[in-house]
Structure 1
């Protein structure tokens, strides 16, 4: 439960992670293409792995952003009780 002692200006870093993931994805893709063209297999593999990591992070960030304000509360969301899951009987 939010106690009210959190900073009122605190924000989620998801949007920043979204843009950093896009930036990293573009550079990893550029590096992959450049190293494949130059015939540098080791560096191309490293860029390919980095590309997979950035795309995965991008997918996670987009998924969490689409969950909505309940999971990423903003200024207009009052403190709320946590969602209580029913225990199986």
Structure 2
């Protein structure tokens, strides 16, 4: 009995961590959705943080952390978008 099972496009060889394929189209769609979403959230939290007073809930410190967190997520999603776009370009045959 062989370990190779033909599932999907690629034959399972047992070396998937080395040769695994990710769904680039799905990652592209997710990045295109989440970059503007996280960027908008960053802007909203930054404006709210700038207008917050010491007695407000959430506190200015909490708003600051939310702003930084959204900014970090924006950068991660943007970097993933660039990586996915580069991989898609590399996968295309030359001259297309």
Structure with bigger strand share is 2
Higher helix share: 2
Deviation at 1:7, TM superposition (A): 2.7
Alignment counterpart, residue 66 of structure 2, candidates 14, 33, 43: 43
* Residue-pair matches, total: 67
Query: Structure 1 CA distance, aligned partners of 2:9 and 2:65?
Result: 47
Q: Which has the larger Rg?
A: 2
TM-score, structure 1 length as denominator?
0.64
The verdict on how the C-alpha distance between 1:8 and 1:49 changes in structure 2, with shifts beyond 3 A counting, is closer
Q: CA RMSD in A?
A: 2.6
Higher relative contact order, structure no. (Cα contacts within 8 Å, ≥ 6 residues apart): 1
Structure 1 residues 12, 46: closer, same or farther in 2, change over 3 A?
closer
Following superposition, the deviation at residue 26 of structure 1 comes to 1.3
Per-residue CA distance 1:11-64 (angstroms, 9 max, x = gap): 951011101011111110011000000002110000000001000100110010
Residue segments in structure 1 that go unaligned for 5+ positions in a row: 71-89
Q: Which runs of 5+ in 2 are unaligned?
A: 11-20, 50-62
Q: CA deviation at 1:8?
A: 4.5
Moved beyond 4 Å, runs of 4+: none
